[in-house]
Amino acid sequence: MTVDVAGAAAALQGADNILILTHRRPDGDTAGCAGALCRGLRQLGKTAYILENPEITKRYAPLIIPCYPTSDFNFAYIVSVDIAEEKLFPDTAEQYKGKVDLVIDHHRSNSGFGAKNLIRPDAGGCAEVLYDVLAALGVRFTRDIAECIYIGVSTDTGCFKFSNTTAHTHAVAAACLTAGIDGGEINRVLFETKSMPRFQMERIVFDTMEFFEDGAVAVALLWRTDIDRTGADMDDLDSIASLTRQIEGVQIGITLTENRDGTVKVSVRTTKEMDAAAICKKCGGGGHIRAAGASLDCGMEEAKAAILTAAREQFHAKQ
Amino acid sequence: MTVDVAGAAAALQGADNILILTHRRPDGDTAGCAGALCRGLRQLGKTAYILENPEITKRYAPLIIPCYPTSDFNFAYIVSVDIAEEKLFPDTAEQYKGKVDLVIDHHRSNSGFGAKNLIRPDAGGCAEVLYDVLAALGVRFTRDIAECIYIGVSTDTGCFKFSNTTAHTHAVAAACLTAGIDGGEINRVLFETKSMPRFQMERIVFDTMEFFEDGAVAVALLWRTDIDRTGADMDDLDSIASLTRQIEGVQIGITLTENRDGTVKVSVRTTKEMDAAAICKKCGGGGHIRAAGASLDCGMEEAKAAILTAAREQFHAKQ
């Protein structure tokens, strides 16, 4: 059943003993949504917890860890936030598949796996939807709730840079700043700070980058020994593949990562003239039109030659 | 005389044959303010032009060049936008010193060199002030005006990342998106695209960067031969000094640029624990607490040793 903001608020108003689920590889949006909802429900006098997410990173831990259940408890109402499908449940949520009472999300692909579903694909961050729900519930917009909402909205919109940013996104951000958050400091940590491993990974991307077709095709190579030397983790490698495409004139940006087992992960990012999925398909992969990938069971140089051939073919076909 | 938004609007309402001045080394804010004001005044049926700025770069040219005077004209009313002091007038504006009728600005240091002065240091971008003035004038917020305002606000706030971003900043951005601008595409060009010379300059910063004091002090060297080889211009070098400070743990980020005459420009950026102005003062320079500079009349290695000594002294004094 599809519900609107008022419907979701009414459902939450009538519920208690609520458990909130976040998704696998939790990002700022799922953590921010869960943190805001849990704190908002508690403000209304309800019992609410966030299910432990074993993959939470240091960066987003403060949003959800203080809300983990401290004892065994029978939850009567299950809410998922920013989860597009049940396959994305963390391992800890296996038992809740098929049992979600309320889905709050913004992914267009969400088929509505809950008893009630509030899905708003127009929202840049799911935290924008949460903001509207909390407002409908009459929750006071305190600084700690505003921090959760702001982190959700800003991380999912690239700090208001991406095309999913709307007037509503900015209106929610304005409300967060009015609530007293230190936006400048939050943004410095989230968007202006590179860990030393991240810095070293970027240096490797920059150093290995080669250009072809008059700068329209760029290729960067991340060798395993380099990755290991930097000590880079998942957070550090996040979005590293998009660096190649940021250079003016690059229409096809390719990043090759040497896996531990010797296979090669290929990431392709394109500007609007080129089709990343079509390029990757030629190497047995797939994905979206601007962002796609493939896994090649060969060495780095061979993988580079294969994907470069596919990229150049498309480049010439589109001239 | 200090005026508020209503006072500035009333002054403009009563004026005609208006000339708008932008500042030396024009950025997105001064160009955006001028572009929005000129288009707004014309919408009200007034004659308005923007004084030619010989230093305008390709990026911001579309905002102001269409508004350059096409013939000799006797201007009856002079407005400056985003200009903190008359010293920052471009060469073309020499004759207007002491003759500005209305100053619209957001720099705290502005002493008010106009007959009337609307100065709002709380505004992240001066374009926010322009937005309020145009609203008070009853100007329709068309897409082309919204683009000018958006570019002004977003460039001066680091796309809503910096601590000068307020609820009002976001409210203005929301109005711009509602007016139909393509924020995602504007941001891609302004914030996600690196020119090839810029990319090469960043590569040099990354490659030359050295760390001291357990990573708390970083130094990057931009040699003249490297700069010349990349073909980098003013736009490409913009904010390059902030790269050193972006690395986690760096509290004092130093960038040394070899000038054409052999002298060295020193740029220091600090996190809140350290005082950039105090460090630069020891080398005969000055500036703000987080961003300061100095000009040294010696070679790169000598300059590096001098500023590094000053930086380390402060670092140890603050332990």
CB-CB neighbors (< 8 A) of A187 in chain B: 160-162
B220 shares its domain with B158: no
Residue B269 pairs in a beta bridge with B253, B291
Q: Are A96 and A21 a contacting pair, CB within 8 Å?
A: yes
Residue A177 is predicted with a pLDDT of 98
- Cβ distance A174 to B171 less than 8 Å, yes or no, reads yes
Q: Does B72 touch chain A (CB under 8 A)?
A: no
B103 shares its domain with B153: yes
pLDDT class of A9 with cuts at 50, 70, 90:
very high
B81 shares its domain with B224: no
Rounded Cα distance between B79 and A26, Å, is: 51
Higher pLDDT, B221 or A241: B221
Q: Does A192 touch chain B (CB under 8 A)?
A: yes
Name the one residue in this structure whose structure tokens are 């040793």.
B305
State which residue of chain B sits closest to A163, comparing Cα positions.
B184
Q: Does residue A72 have a pLDDT over 80?
A: no
* Test the B interface: residue of A149, A177, A178 with most B CBs within 10 Å: A177
Instruction: Please spell the DSSP secondary structure of A207-275, one letter per residue.
Output: HH-EEETTTTEEEEEE-HHHHHHHT--HHHHTTGGGTGGGBTT-SEEEEEEE-TTS-EEEEEEE-TTS-
DSSP state of B258: E
Q: Does A215 touch chain B (CB under 8 A)?
A: yes
Residue of B174, B185, B215 lying closest to A196 (CB–CB)? B215
What is the arrangement of strands in the sheet containing B217-222, beginning at the earlier edge strand?
B210-212, B217-222, B252-258, B264-270, B291-296, B286-287
Last residue of a domain, one of A163, A191, A219: A191
* Test the A interface: residue of B59, B165, B181, B195 with most A CBs within 10 Å: B165
Residue B289 is predicted with a pLDDT of 84
Q: Is B265 helix (H, G, I), strand (E, B) or coil?
A: strand
Q: Is A284 helix (H, G, I), strand (E, B) or coil?
A: coil
- Cβ distance A167 to B185 less than 8 Å, yes or no, reads no
Last residue of a domain, one of B124, B157, B191: B191
pLDDT class of B188 with cuts at 50, 70, 90:
confident
Residue B124 is predicted with a pLDDT of 94
What is the ipTM, given to two decimal places? 0.86
A235 shares its domain with A285: yes
Q: Which domain holds residue B117?
A: 5-191
Q: Are A240 and A202 a contacting pair, CB within 8 Å?
A: yes
Q: Does residue B71 have a pLDDT over 90?
A: no
Q: Nearest 5 degrees, angle CA A282-CA A286-CA A288?
A: 125
Q: Does residue A65 have a pLDDT over 90?
A: yes
Q: Does residue B317 have a pLDDT over 90?
A: yes
A123 shares its domain with A202: no
Residue of B164, B174, B182 lying closest to A170 (CB–CB)? B174
Q: Is the Cα dihedral B187, B188, B191, B197 positive or negative?
A: negative
Residue of B183, B194, B249 lying closest to A247 (CB–CB)? B194
- Cβ distance A170 to B170 less than 8 Å, yes or no, reads yes
A77 shares its domain with A131: yes
Report how many domains make up chain B.
Answer: 2
For B251-261, what is each residue's pLDDT tens digit?
A: 999 999 999 88
Chain A closest-CA separation from residue B176 CA (Å): 8
Q: Are A294 and A283 a contacting pair, CB within 8 Å?
A: yes
A239 shares its domain with A143: no
Last residue of a domain, one of A191, A211, A227: A191
For B259-316, what is each residue's pLDDT tens digit?
A: 988 899 999 999 888 999 999 999 999 888 888 899 999 999 999 999 999 999 999 9
Rounded Cα distance between A292 and B59, Å, is: 31
Q: Are A264 and A257 a contacting pair, CB within 8 Å?
A: yes
Q: Does A191 touch chain B (CB under 8 A)?
A: yes
CB-CB neighbors (< 8 A) of A161 in chain B: 159, 184, 187-188, 191-192
Residue B286 is predicted with a pLDDT of 86
Residue A26 is predicted with a pLDDT of 94
In chain A, DSSP assigns E strands to 18-21, 48-50, 77-81, 102-105, 116-119, 210-212, 217-222, 252-258, 264-270, 286-287, 291-296
Q: Is the Cα dihedral B171, B176, B180, B184 positive or negative?
A: negative
Q: Does residue B119 have a pLDDT over 90?
A: yes
pLDDT class of B165 with cuts at 50, 70, 90:
very high
CB-CB neighbors (< 8 A) of B183 in chain A: 163, 165
Please state the rounded mean pLDDT for residues A106-121.
95
DSSP state of B19: E
- Cβ distance A184 to B203 less than 8 Å, yes or no, reads no
Chain B closest-CA separation from residue A159 CA (Å): 7
Q: Does residue B234 have a pLDDT over 80?
A: no
Write down the mean pLDDT value for chain A. 94
Rounded Cα distance between A179 and A187, Å, is: 16
Residue A291 is predicted with a pLDDT of 84
Q: Among A56-70, A285-299, B7-21, B77-91, whose mean pLDDT is lowest?
A: A285-299
Residue A25 is predicted with a pLDDT of 87
B249 shares its domain with B281: yes
B9 shares its domain with B36: yes
Q: Does B313 touch chain A (CB under 8 A)?
A: no
Q: Does B206 touch chain A (CB under 8 A)?
A: yes
Residue of B161, B207, B248 lying closest to A196 (CB–CB)? B248
Q: What percent of chain A has pLDDT over 90?
A: 82
Cα dihedral A36, A42, A45, A49 in deg (nearest 10): 120
Q: Does B193 touch chain A (CB under 8 A)?
A: yes
CB-CB neighbors (< 8 A) of B166 in chain A: 177
Q: Does residue B51 have a pLDDT over 90?
A: yes
B174 shares its domain with B296: no
Residue A272 is predicted with a pLDDT of 79
Residue of A168, A178, A206 lying closest to B206 (CB–CB)? A206
Which among B147, B181, B153 has a CA at the least distance from the CA of B165? Answer: B153
Q: For residue A266, give every residue at least 6 positions away whose Cβ sits within 8 Å of its Cβ, in sequence order, or none.
A: A254, A255, A256, A257, A280, A283, A285, A293, A294, A295, A296, A303, A307
CB-CB neighbors (< 8 A) of A160 in chain B: 159-160, 173, 187
CATH of the domain at A244: 3.10.310.30
- If phi > 0 it is left, if psi is from -120 to 50 it is alpha, else beta; for residue B57 that is beta
CATH of the domain at B43: 3.90.1640.10
Residue B97 is predicted with a pLDDT of 97
Residue A127 is predicted with a pLDDT of 98
Residue A173 is predicted with a pLDDT of 98
For B7-44, what is each residue's pLDDT tens digit?
A: 999 999 999 999 999 999 899 999 999 999 999 999 99
A149 shares its domain with A226: no
B168 shares its domain with B42: yes
Assign 3-class secondary structure to B65-134: HHHCCCCCCCCCEEEEECCCCHHHCCHHHHHHCCCCCEEEECCCCCCCCCCEEEECCCCCCHHHHHHHHH
Chain B closest-CA separation from residue A181 CA (Å): 10
CB-CB neighbors (< 8 A) of B246 in chain A: 192-194, 199
Q: Does A246 touch chain B (CB under 8 A)?
A: yes
Q: Does B189 touch chain A (CB under 8 A)?
A: no
Which among B220, B76, B237 has a CA at the least distance from the CA of A203? Answer: B220
- Cβ distance A203 to B199 less than 8 Å, yes or no, reads no
For A242-290, what is each residue's pLDDT tens digit?
A: 899 889 999 999 999 999 888 999 999 998 789 999 999 999 998 888 8
Cβ contacts below 8 Å, chain A against chain B, sum to 112
- Cβ distance B177 to A170 less than 8 Å, yes or no, reads yes
- Cβ distance B247 to A193 less than 8 Å, yes or no, reads yes
Euclidean distance between the first and the last CA atom of chain A, given in angstroms as a whole number: 48
What is the identity of the amino acid at A278? A
Name the one residue in this structure whose structure tokens are 């432990």.
A52
Residue of A161, A184, A199 lying closest to B187 (CB–CB)? A161
Residue A80 CA, distance from chain mean position:
15
